[in-house]
Amino acid sequence: MTQAQRKSDWISYEDFLASAEGVRAEWVDGEILYMSPQTDRHLLISGFLFSALRGYVRLKGLGGRVMQAGFQVRLNARRGREPDVSYVTAENMGRLTRTFVDGPVDLAVEVISPDSRVRDRVDKPREYAAAGVREYWLIDPDAETIEVFRLGADGRYQAVALGDPARVTSEIIPGLWIDPVWMWADDPDEFVAYREWGLI
């Protein structure tokens, strides 16, 4: 492909948002990357996390916004990604526009799909870290694992030990903890989390 061809194939982020409305897609180097439909388990886990985190943030009065897949995050001039679940703190709500987050979210969560393993494990962590996403959770439904990474002073992600028994905690959402077992249920229920947190 010639330089002229690359330039003519380039699509702006604004045109991407208009043309990709209603489909699962991301914007990388001026190209639209369409993603495969999510599996039922992927949807159950990401739906549980969205509902659980949103409820926690609201009931604790923390402010900010929890978002689910379908809402874009423009990381920089060349990347627009769509995390499965994300959170922007109250302090950074100025980044939120009507159709996308203009800049990094504070927390990004990706649930691995069969077609996203390299993207979620290699590409996105590198891009999220470079953009300043402070916390990254990576969930593998098939292996039933969750990995938590926090941005270090060197601008790279550091893995966080979950302990024994495993508990996911967050520096971004104060006091939050998640038992990974909740996610592996046949039908994960956010009300289990609410009860464990003493919120209901």
Residue 17 lies in a domain: no
pLDDT of res. 165: 92
pTM above 0.75? yes
User: Total domain count for the chain?
Assistant: 1
pLDDT of res. 152: 97
Residue 81 belongs to what domain range? 36-196
Non-local CB neighbours of 94 within 8 Å, separated by 6+ positions: none
Q: What's the rounded Cα separation, in Å, for the pair 162 and 141?
A: 17
Residue 189 lies in a domain: yes
Residue 69 lies in a domain: yes
Instruction: At 75, give phi and psi (nearest 5°).
Output: -75, -35
Residue 133 lies in a domain: yes
Residue 50 lies in a domain: yes
Residue 85 lies in a domain: yes
Residue 7 lies in a domain: no
CATH number of the domain residue 116 falls in: 3.90.1570.10
> What tens-digit pLDDT sequence spans the chain (200 residues)?
333 233 447 889 888 888 877 778 889 988 888 887 778 899 999 999 999 999 999 999 999 999 999 899 999 999 999 999 999 999 999 999 999 999 999 999 999 987 778 888 999 999 999 999 999 999 999 999 999 999 999 999 999 999 999 999 999 999 999 999 999 999 999 999 999 999 99
